Amino acid sequence: MKSSEMQTAANDALAKRYGQKAIPTIGGWNETIALLMAHRSIRAYRPDPLPIGTLETLAAVAQSAATSSNMQMWSMIAVTDQDTKAKIAAASQKQKHIEQCPLFLVFVADCSRNRRLGDAADTELASLDYFESFLVASIDAALAAQNAVVAAESLGLSTVYIGALRNQPLFIAELLGLPKGTLGVFGLCVGYADEHAVNEVKPRLPQEAVLFHGRYGVMQEKDLIADYDQEMGAFSKRHEMSDDTWSGRVLNRLSNPANLNGRDQLASILNAMGFKLK
């Protein structure tokens, strides 16, 4: 940490992310790190279109992310058509920001491109039938997408991931012409934030609850989560949501598979979509 200005900026960003009581002692700091620390998911967008070429910039950085053995098992579909976005929103718990944002990106876990290579060469690519290949494709897509998020935010744009894209994967596949061996694994809204929707940075668990040295440990966990429940309770109150603790929200969300909104069928749907998941 070089200057006292940087130290102040870092402490301010860490206080927002962890709360005053849980600021970790960090090392390096720079503008890129400041950008990453300041991430917020935004769920309301102005209708303003993106500058020409923004999509291609996001795709270029997405492709620059690491990909397992350079197999590049992911694709992205840019959706800008209002009717298509409305249909995706309707299938994704009516999240209005999908319709609002000028650019909706569908990230695709894609085993089909390499399968087509095999078919053209009359070579059976048996490894694509394994669970491992689906996982590689999903992780490839996530690494690519996160680069796109970082670049979007560096350009003054906002984003939010849409996991609800997995609520009705067959509908999404039909809508976007996805072939067998692909899954629209998540969506990403991209656009200019409606300023009324820009919240504080959301606090996360204390670093000691997530980062371990040498071995996983749970000794301090209850106390750390109790601290975080206080922090998130206060955050929730400030935003006039409710005074639910984080623990309460997690228990509520995960105790009832109905909250999966159809994603409890994902494994069998993936089989129907051509992923054998051996």
Largest Cα–Cα distance in the chain?
63
Q: Rule CB under 8 A: choose which of 91, 128, 193, 273 binds a second copy.
A: 128
Query: Of the ranges 93-101, 192-200, 241-249, which one interacts with a second copy (CB under 8 A)?
Result: 241-249
Q: Rule CB under 8 A: choose which of 94, 96, 239, 253 binds a second copy.
A: 253
Does 246 help bind a second copy (rule: CB under 8 A)? yes
Closest CA to 116 of 3, 2, 274, 276: 274
Query: Of the ranges 89-97, 125-133, 191-199, which one interacts with a second copy (CB under 8 A)?
Result: 125-133
Site string for a second copy, 53-82 (x = CB under 8 A): xxxxx-xxx-xxxxxxxxxx-xxxxxxxx-
Q: Any long-range contacts for 178-182 (C-beta under 8 Å, 24+ apart)?
A: 178/108, 179/112, 180/112, 180/273, 180/274, 181/110, 181/111, 181/112, 181/115, 181/128, 181/273, 181/274, 181/275, 182/75, 182/108, 182/109, 182/110, 182/111, 182/112, 182/273, 182/274
- The H or E element spanning position 85 is helix 82-90
Using an 8 Å Cβ cutoff, are 62 and 53 in contact?
no
Q: Rule CB under 8 A: choose which of 6, 15, 33, 90 binds a second copy.
A: 33
Does 44 help bind a second copy (rule: CB under 8 A)? no
Q: Rule CB under 8 A: choose which of 5, 214, 219, 240 binds a second copy.
A: 214
Cα dihedral: 102, 107, 108, 114 (round 10) = 110
Q: Rule CB under 8 A: choose which of 143, 192, 230, 244 binds a second copy.
A: 143
Query: Of the ranges 49-57, 93-101, 191-199, which one interacts with a second copy (CB under 8 A)?
Result: 49-57
| Distance of closest approach, residue 194 Cβ to a second copy, in angstroms | 18
| Distance of closest approach, residue 221 Cβ to a second copy, in angstroms | 7
Residues 87-106 that bind a second copy (CB under 8 A): none
Does 113 help bind a second copy (rule: CB under 8 A)? yes
Does 219 help bind a second copy (rule: CB under 8 A)? no
Using an 8 Å Cβ cutoff, are 241 and 234 in contact?
no
